[in-house]
Structure 1
Amino acid sequence: MTVLIADPDVVALPVVDSGEPLIDLAEAGLACQAAPGSPGRRVRAGVAARLLAAEAALPAGIHLLVVEGARSAADQTRIVEGYQRDLRAAFPRSAEDEIQRLSTRYVAPTAYAPHVAGAAVDLALTDARGRRLWMGTEVDATPEESEGACAFAAPGISAEARAHRDLMAAALSGAGLVNYPTEWWHWSYGDRYWALMTGARQAHYGPVGVAS
């Protein structure tokens, strides 16, 4: 059974923030889609170091592309509220607690969202010319619009997409990051979800104040 990010075992883990700074991913040497100066271009230093290790582990001519790193609390809240509105429209008979649960397959509550802590990245792979490799869905495809194909282990995706997902996963997990299994593109280090998945007693990163 998939452990979701709002699971009580995740939320209960303490956070002892290491105080690591946010650093610019592009300046660190990683391809990043986010605009210069935006929160999405930055992550905690420990996350960046592990992404660089994962990049080095990929075959020649294959590269990581960071679509988004850190996210402001305001932006996170807007995403949560927008997706929950969509779910209420799609499932009008569902109780509110079920809407809340369903929403966490795709976006974390703001108070403990890994992106708000600078602990998470949304990623894709590119070839040597910077063209994205096909991963089975677009980054940020919802479970509804992708018919579940956004999940890392989703059945029915092409052999090409499966190979690309597995390649990215080998590099990232080898560098110490963990995947959120309902989103093939979401990987994190140092947050509560990472702590539960790795058996750590506490998370290293809590929310950081970044402007939208």
Structure 2
Amino acid sequence: MTTQTLAEPAVLLADPRVAAVPVVDDGEPLVRLPRRLSPTREPVRRTLAERLEAAARRLPAGIGLRVVEGHRSLADQAAIVAAYTADLQVLHPEADAARLRVLSSRFVAPLEVAPHVAGAAVDLTLVDACGDDLDLGTPIDATPEQSDGRCWTAADGIGPDARAHRDLMAHALGGAGLVNYPSEWWHWSYGDRYWALLTAAPHALYGPVAR
């Protein structure tokens, strides 16, 4: 049993309040993360890159961040939404389009509000001094179905090491000004509509960007 379910209060990316947040894009460019943060040098907005560097400095010696995904194209985002929605249609044949949109948004953002598409989000984990993954309770990108809900950041059913590592991640990233998406422990963002809603900012800093 998990501590968070769809019946409990949580702002999902399908919530109309997210789409209602205005966007005033400041035109900040995408930059490549350094290899010490991302072996694949994922592209993100410049200030997000700076805040990830600050978050890494908040971690204890011997523990680091590893970013596995940053900016995502509109086409890639649409493909993920379509594939996961198709899986959900099989699991929930009674669900209408509106319900499927909510269910899908636990794992992948609707295209029009997607933080990754804005270069404003990262998927990441913690690693040890050798670069090996620490225990965070589930793999990155484990769906709610695959993980039995343990992908929720505050979920029960994970071990004490995983809980401590999630708390450490929250301390470092939250302290650097990022916000977490509660159904994905690995997803953190800055400057997007979701961030603006949670922090009461007057508008999002970043909208969709092509590269």
TM-score of the pair, normalised by structure 2: 0.94
1:94 CA drift (Å):
1.6
TM-score of the two chains, using structure 1 as the length reference: 0.94
Find the counterpart in structure 1 of residue 135 from structure 2. Answer: 134
**In the alignment, which residue of structure 1 is the partner of 2:179?**
178
Asked if residue 90 in structure 1 is aligned to residue 96 in structure 2, the reply is: no
SS of alignment partner, residue 90 of structure 2: helix
Alignment-mate amino acid for residue 146 of structure 1: S
For 2:37 and 2:129, locate their aligned partners in 1 and report how far apart those are by CA, in whole Å: 12
Aligned Cα RMSD in Å? Answer: 0.9
1:34-89 residue CA offsets vs partner (Å, 9 max, x unmatched): 3x6xxxx1000010000000000100000000010000000000000000000001
**Aligned pairs, number:** 203
Alpha-carbon distance in structure 2 between the residues aligned to 1:33 and 1:74: 23
Q: Distance in 1 between matches of 2:36 and 2:120?
A: 16
**Mapping of 1:73-84 within 5 angstroms?**
73-84=74-85
What secondary structure, in the 3-state scheme, does the structure 1 residue paired with 2:184 have?
coil
What is the CA deviation profile of residues 183-209 of structure 1, one whole-angstrom value per residue up to 9, with x for unaligned ones?
000000000000010010100000001
Percent identity (aligned): 59
Q: Does 1:145 align with 2:151?
A: no
Unaligned runs of 5+ in 1: none
Q: CA deviation at 1:33?
A: 4.2
Q: Using the alignment, how far apart are the partners of 1:6 and 1:17 within structure 2?
A: 21
Partners of 1:33 and 1:99 in 2: CA distance: 35
Q: Does 1:32 align with 2:38?
A: yes
Counterpart residue number, 2:23: 15
Q: How much has 1:30 moved relative to structure 2?
A: 3.6
Q: Structure 2: how far apart are the matches of 1:164 and 1:179?
A: 14
Unaligned runs of 5+ in 2: 1-8
The answer on 1:6 being equivalent to 2:6 is no
Aligned residue in 1 for 2:72:
71
Post-superposition Cα deviations, 1:137-175, rounded to whole Å, max 9, x if no partner, equal 000000001000000000111111000000011000000
